[in-house]
Structure 1
């Protein structure tokens, strides 16, 4: 029968403004008794979790180090507790009013599945996995914890804790729409575009959503259009293009439903105009390549800036885009940009100069 008990750990509670953090020591072998790693995944279209997948080679390297003489891990792991975890202050007086000594009381129920444990690892996933697997009886580590109110707050802390580390951009983009709290300006700017991207990617492909399932993200491994290419296209349009009309410049919010409708309408016409090129990966098609996605995004902005979704059908965009067929070399042939040397179809690169060159070429053909 599985054990149920309370793990009581001596800790310091430190007040930071209106929030509290808790510093404590714990046997690294016991972290997984009460904490889980919530790896990012989706149930239907709802994002679950927030951690990056384990990197096995890194874990093995840490384990070899831990099993050597004189091993030391001075960096604290970061743990997000839920409200089942409590802090009991001791009677000893503190010399400063922002620090209190006491005990963290963590309920442990060995019968609970991983996703119902009372704590999540926000930082230290690979170190804790290495300690768990190491040939050691115990290995104490320093830890910092906080009691979070919901998974959105945990995601926010995860992004902030890892702000100076090389987190995969795709993971950040997928987390941003479901994250609350203060974010660095560079992330806050991408939060709305990331939400739009997610809606595009999890649309109904059978109903004609052109991007549905095609954008590569951590939870859409079969996608072939790079998420960063679509994100840049959306961001460009939001701040200086056709999607600006749906955005509130004062608070950065926007009518995501209208943005998605606008994008799906235009890109459905792109898909119907160039069906073969749309179904191929960027290696075989410059339409799904970063340069093609961004250049066609600028075409969308030039053609539909200030036109609401309800009026798009009356613009006959399918006839307009059909004129591009004669000047595009998405999958074969050469681009005739003028000058002495034509550019081979796959000679277009995802660089600012080439994106500008391709955009100008497309817009000239439409004038």
Structure 2
């Protein structure tokens, strides 16, 4: 085979399991799909073939967008199954005294073959590999770990073992985001500001949510009755232009003002607390106002009420009066919601219930805020 038909890289070799050769090395991102096939899951008339899920275009596009955003740190290792057709030549030379020799270094040679016949298969990192192949910078160095096996059963076993590990709790990620100063993918960066506002609402004594929000770092205090995920989702909606209550202070605008966002949240939610004192601060099982559905629905109502309040000379009074008008029609701790037909404790945190409850509250507000003739 001609030299140009091979890819040669520096690697470290060790063994695991039943004397299975394992290699660690780096490749340029664009080389991954040159040496490795993606064994997609499908069935023929008799057997199950492959093991990889379909390409998730939105996931791949999100990674490409991140990779193209500038100089990025991307140390996520790709796992490959390597054909026995690869070769490895051990490096010669003296070894440093006291070397912890877990592996041996050398040159790994991987044949470059046609698609469907390649000398490697992607076990973990399919979406990342596709994104790296499409990124503007084709020479991003990527860590790779490869084990030698042609056995599809071994490939499937490793795929399952890698992917069965429980993903990081979204709440943990959200709480960590404000502490991360580096560039982040768009889907994560969108949660950074709402999570920081959630932190402030939980820590500042002037906030109606002071010490009421349950975060991933909490050890389970009884007073932490508000789910941070629900409140972050509500704040994200408040940030959406053009009608979000906080959108005028959004971070991409020239008038970016996180302090004003916090003050607006305190104004509105303090009025909610004062309007429904018997429902505030209780466990979600005792008050659906503190339930994720109640937080999301009242957060949606905030956009509509604050739109009027912002044009008022007395916004605090406008918010208080708007909430006072709908209060007799709300059933947070007892009764049946007129127009919805739900007992107070039948409300669940499903998208359908959140949407219906939000629409119901906004319709109530629109109807009751009309001037009487």
Provide the TM-score with structure 1 as the length reference.
0.52
Aligned to 2:132: none
Residue 211 (1) aligns with residue 209 (2)? yes
| 2:157 corresponding residue in structure 1 | none
SS in structure 2 opposite 1:276?
A: coil
Whether the 8 Å CA contact 2:337–2:343 is kept in 1: the answer is yes
Tell me the residue number matched to 1:349: 348
The residue aligned with 1:172 is 173
- Is it true that 1:187 corresponds to 2:188 in the alignment? yes
User: Which residue number in structure 2 is paired with residue 335 of structure 1?
Assistant: 337
1:227 aligns with 2:225: no
Q: Deviations over 1:305-355 (max 9, x none)?
A: 2755995545432222112222111111111125xxx21111111122211
**Alpha-carbon offset, residue 262 of structure 1:** 0.4
SS of alignment partner, residue 277 of structure 1 = coil
Q: Answer yes or no: is the 8 Å Cα contact 1:245–1:306 preserved in 2.
A: no
Change (3 A) 1:301 1:139: farther
CA distance in 1, matches of 2:181, 2:330: 43
Q: Within the alignment, does 1:326 sit opposite 2:325 as a pair?
A: no
Match for residue 247 of structure 1? Answer: 250
Shift in alpha-carbon separation, 1:267–1:320, aligned structure 2, 3 A: same
CA–CA distance in 1 between the matches of 2:297 and 2:339? 14
TM-aligned CA distance change 1:24 to 1:247, over 3 Å = farther
User: Would you say the 8 A contact 1:261–1:309 is kept in 2?
Assistant: no
RMSD over aligned CA atoms reads 3.9
Change (3 A) 1:75 1:291: farther
SS in 2 for 1:332: coil
Distance change (3 Å), C-alpha of 1:141 and 1:336: farther
- The 1-side partners of 2:333 and 2:166 are apart by 38
Residue 101 of structure 1 corresponds to: none
Residue in 1 aligned with 2:259?
A: 257
Distance (Å, rounded) in 2 between the aligned partners of 1:176 and 1:249: 18
Partner Cα distance (1:219, 1:75) in 2: 37
What CA distance in whole angstroms lies between the structure 1 residues aligned with 2:240 and 2:303? 11
5+ residue gaps, structure 2, are 1-10, 25-74, 77-99, 105-164, 368-373
Other structure's SS at 1:354 match: helix
- CA distance in 1: counterparts of 2:12 and 2:269, whole angstroms: 53
User: Shift of residue 292 of structure 1?
Assistant: 0.7
> Any unmatched runs of 5+ in structure 1?
1-22, 26-65, 77-121, 124-137, 143-163
Aligned to 1:298: 300
TM-score scaled by length of structure 2: 0.51
Partner of 1:115: none
Structure 2 match to 1:364: 363
**In structure 2, distance between residues paired with 1:197 and 1:75:** 44
Answer yes or no: is the 8 Å Cα contact 2:305–2:322 preserved in 1: no
User: 1:86-111, CA deviations, whole angstroms, 9 ceiling, x for partnerless residues?
Assistant: xxxxxxxxxxxxxxxxxxxxxxxxxx
Q: Name the counterpart of 2:291.
A: 289
CA distance in 1, matches of 2:103, 2:342: 58
Q: Distance in 1 between matches of 2:333 and 2:293?
A: 13
**Distance change >3 Å, CA 211–CA 24, structure 1 → 2:** farther
**How many residue pairs get matched?**
222
**Following the alignment from structure 1 to structure 2, what is the Cα–Cα distance between the partners of residues 230 and 364?**
22
Do the aligned residues in 2 keep the contact of 1:285 with 1:331 (CA within 8 Å)? yes
Within 2, Cα distance between the matches of 1:296 and 1:318? 13
> Matched residue of 1:275: which SS?
coil
**1:75-94 maps to which residues of 2 (within 5 A)?**
none
Q: Do the aligned partners of 2:267 and 2:316 also contact (CA within 8 Å) in 1? A: no
Q: How does 1:35-46 map to 2 (within 5 A)?
A: none
